[in-house]
Amino acid sequence: MFTIVKREEMAEGTIILNEIEAPLIAKKAKPGQFVILKANEEGERIPLTMADTNPEMGTITIVYMVVGKSTAIFRDLQVGDSYQDVIGPLGKPTHLEKVGKVVCVGGGTGVAVLHPITRGLKQVGNEVICIIGARNKGLLILEEQMHTASHDLRVCTDDGSYGHHGFVTEVLKEVLQSGDIRLVVAIGPVPMMKAVSNLTKEYNVATMVSLNPIMVDGTGMCGGCRVTVGGETKFACVDGPEFDGHQVDYDELILRLRAYQEDERKSHEHYCNIRDAVKS
């Protein structure tokens, strides 16, 4: 069993942070890798990229948004409760090297995935500018941690309630115009990663994206995370989750993801109806 030692509700209670005892995983995990979690016998296997690891304490940190039946079950778990299964680390770790000036762009729960990568890029000697965004101030997560992990943090909100009023791509464009940027890392909603990749392509700046939103089984067996990258079929969970952002077929990816999200929404509504009926 994998015990929860810390639980925090963020972003108006829609996003949950769990720090979980998993000493063997914490010892081996690297930035960009993920784990598969299962709450109990009734729950599904959910792949989530780790937001942090603490090898000394033997813990890993995951951050998730409550969107379906399984994440709703996750939300019910409190400090002292345990996940039945946590498997990992899985996926290819981020390639970290000193290249110069780097921009890390995150949106939504993608900021959690971006955190260890940003920190790793800074630790190997890069100058790191970080841009994070959300629809409003209440939905921003890990601002303090991202400030520590980077040299320069810039915050955006769609409604202007905090930081720059507008999208992360607007700030990114200013940064691209003002400096010798060698690499951009973008992690967040697929439309955001698509917009970032389209922009950086104009400036001929290498761009890496994480396609963790499309992962289902996490082992490559289900085939649900098929993506087209550079004209070839790849599996996000075993060939990634990180890919060259300029080579991803985002239109195909968005269509597949939209179908999964609709299925997840229906599953979540069904679970909530059953839960409410039991309570009454």
Note the pLDDT tens digit of each residue in 228-239. Answer: 999 999 988 888
Pick 2-90's CATH classification: 3.10.580.10, 3.30.390.50, 2.40.30.10, 3.40.50.720.
Answer: 2.40.30.10
- Residue 138, pLDDT > 50, answer yes
Task: Kindly report whether the global pTM for this prediction surpasses the value 0.85.
Answer: yes
Q: Which CATH class is domain 101-253?
A: alpha beta
Listed in order, strand segments (DSSP E) in the chain are 2-10, 15-21, 34-38, 46-49, 52-54, 59-65, 82-83, 85-90, 101-107, 127-134, 152-157, 164-165, 181-187, 206-210, 226-229, 232-235, 242-244
Would you state the pLDDT for residue 83?
Answer: 95
Mean pLDDT to the nearest integer, 20-44:
93
Would you state the pLDDT for residue 219?
Answer: 67
- In the chain, ranges of CATH 2.40.30.10 domains: 2-90
- Residue 279, pLDDT > 60, answer no
Mean pLDDT to the nearest integer, 62-83:
90
Would you state the pLDDT for residue 259?
Answer: 64
pLDDT category of residue 280 using cuts at 50, 70 and 90? very low
